[in-house]
Amino acid sequence: MSRLLTALILLTAFVLPARAADPDLAGTWFGEIATDRGPMEIGLVVSVEKEKLVGALKTAHGDWEVTAITLKDGLWTVAFKGSGNEGQMLGRITGNRFAGDWTSKMANGTFELTRSKNSQLLRDLTQ
């Protein structure tokens, strides 16, 4: 019984730090925003550094810095800035899909991204 309790305590110790910077959003995402100014392909690259999610948006206008990523009640907020623009993406992850509302100084609309293992898509987007 004490071995089981020790194993559960160790398991909890390893799992809790991983949740501190919830990795559900970590990875490479590719898709499109649909706004009042028209559609635009984008990529989102998120990684975990020092138990914090960091990233960049890859756009036809260049790379935009992700300034903050938060999660509250299943709703992700990804704040960004770059090329005279700033805004945020508010959305939910369902399977390999991250979708929701896009708001920025330049345009408002929606976004839909799919988790991708193919980083060539992001290279093609920014060339």
Tell me the per-residue pLDDT of 18-38, one tens digit each, with 9 for 90 and over.
Answer: 334 456 899 999 999 999 899
Nearest to 61, CA basis, from 26, 78, 37, 77? 37
| 78 beta partners | 69, 89
Average pLDDT of the chain to the nearest whole number: 80
How far is Cα of residue 65 from the mean position of the Cα atoms in its chain?
12
Domains of the chain: residue spans and CATH: 22-125 (2.40.128.120)
Q: How many CB atoms lie within 10 A of CB 67?
A: 14
Tell me the per-residue pLDDT of 58-105, one tens digit each, with 9 for 90 and over.
Answer: 998 889 999 999 999 999 999 999 988 899 999 999 999 999 999 999
Q: What is the pLDDT of residue 118?
A: 61
Q: What is the pLDDT of residue 101?
A: 98
What is the pLDDT averaged over residues 7-16?
35
Comparing 2 with 118, the larger pLDDT belongs to 118
Spatial separation of the C-alpha atoms in residues 90 and 100, rounded to whole Å: 6
